[in-house]
Chains A and B, each alone.
Chain A
Amino acid sequence: MIRFDHVTKRYPDGTVAVDGLTLEAPTGRITVFVGPSGCGKTTSLRMVNRMIEPTSGTITIDDRDVTSLPPHELRRTIGYVIQHAGLFPHRTVIDNVATVPFLLGTDKKQARARAAELLERVGLPAHFARRYPAQLSGGQQQRVGVARALAADPPVMLMDEPFSAVDPVVREQLQDQFLQLQEELGKTIVFVTHDIDEAIKLGDQIAVMAVGGHLAQLSSPADLLARPIDAFVAGFVGRDRGYRALGFARGAALPTTPEPTVRFGERVPPGGLEEWTLVVDDTDQPQGWLRSGPSGSPPGSPIDDAALFRGGTLATQGGSLRAALDACLSSPSGRGVVVDGDGRLEGTVHLDAVTDLIASRERAEVTGGADG
Chain B
Amino acid sequence: MIGNVLRWLNDPDNWNGTQFTTGIWAQLQTHLLYSVIAVLAALVIGLPLGLAIGHTGRATSLISGLNAVRALPTVGVLVLLVVIIAPHFHGRTSKGYIIPTLIVLILLAVPPILSNTYAGVQNVDPAVRDAAYGMGMTGPQVLWRVELPNSLPLIFSGLRSATLQVIATATIAAYVTLGGLGRFIYDGLAQQDYPQMISGGVLVAALALIADLVLALVQRYTVSRGLTKRFSKSTVGGAVAADLEEAGVEHT
Contact = CB atoms under 8 A, between A and B. Distances in A.
Interface of A: 49, 51, 72-77, 80, 82-92, 99-100, 103, 123, 125, 131-137, 139-140, 145, 148, 169-170, 173
A103 B125 CA distance: 21
Interface stretch (B52-60, B210-218, B241-249): B241-249
B12 interface: no
A86 B239 CA distance: 16
A136 B231 CA distance: 12
Nearest to B133: A51
B136 A75 contact: yes
A57 to B, nearest CB: 21
A82 B134 contact: yes
A253 to B, nearest CB: 29
A86 B224 contact: no
Nearest to B141: A103
B131 interface: yes
B235 A135 contact: yes
Q: Which of A49, A140, A148 has the most CB of B within 10 A?
A: A140
A72 B136 contact: yes
A92 B141 contact: no
A140 B141 CA distance: 26
Most A Cβ at <10 Å: residue of B136, B138, B249: B136
A148 B229 CA distance: 22
B224 A135 contact: no
26 contacts: A49-B134, A72-B137, A75-B136, A80-B131, A83-B127, A85-B127, A86-B130, A88-B128, A88-B131, A89-B226, A89-B227, A90-B146, A91-B224, A99-B135, A100-B135, A103-B141, A131-B235, A132-B226, A132-B231, A133-B226, A135-B231, A135-B239, A135-B242, A137-B242, A137-B243, A148-B135
A75 B135 contact: yes
Contacts of A77: 136
Contacts of B11: none
Interface string B112-148: 0000000000000101101111111110010000100
A134 B225 CA distance: 10
A76 B250 contact: no
Contacts of A87: 128, 131
Contacts of A103: 135-137, 141
B251 interface: yes
B238 interface: yes
Prevailing SS type, chain B contact patch? helix
A137 B246 CA distance: 8
Contacts of B132: 86, 88
B135 A82 contact: no
Contacts of A89: 125, 128, 150, 224, 226-227
Nearest to A131: B235
Which 10 pairs show the lowest CB-CB distances between chains A and B?
A86-B131, A132-B226, A76-B136, A90-B224, A75-B136, A86-B127, A80-B134, A135-B238, A137-B242, A90-B149
A140 B125 CA distance: 18
B249 A125 contact: yes
Nearest to A165: B127
B130 A75 contact: no
A82 B226 contact: no
A92 B250 CA distance: 22
A228 to B, nearest CB: 33
Contacts of A148: 135
Contacts of B130: 51, 82, 86
B220 to A, nearest CB: 14
Interface string B3-19: 00000000000000000
B250 A170 contact: yes
A99 B241 CA distance: 26
A85 to B, nearest CB: 7
B227 A90 contact: yes
Contacts of A85: 127, 131
Nearest to B150: A90
Contact of B226 (A75, A86, A90, A140): A90
Contacts of A139: 246, 250
A301 to B, nearest CB: 30
A99 B238 CA distance: 23
Contacts of B128: 86-89
A133 B125 CA distance: 13
Nearest to B225: A132
B127 A132 contact: no
Contacts of B131: 80, 82, 85-88, 145
B134 to A, nearest CB: 4
Contacts of B243: 137
Given A134-B239, A135-B231, A80 B135 contact: yes
A9 to B, nearest CB: 17
Contact of B127 (A82, A99, A131): A82
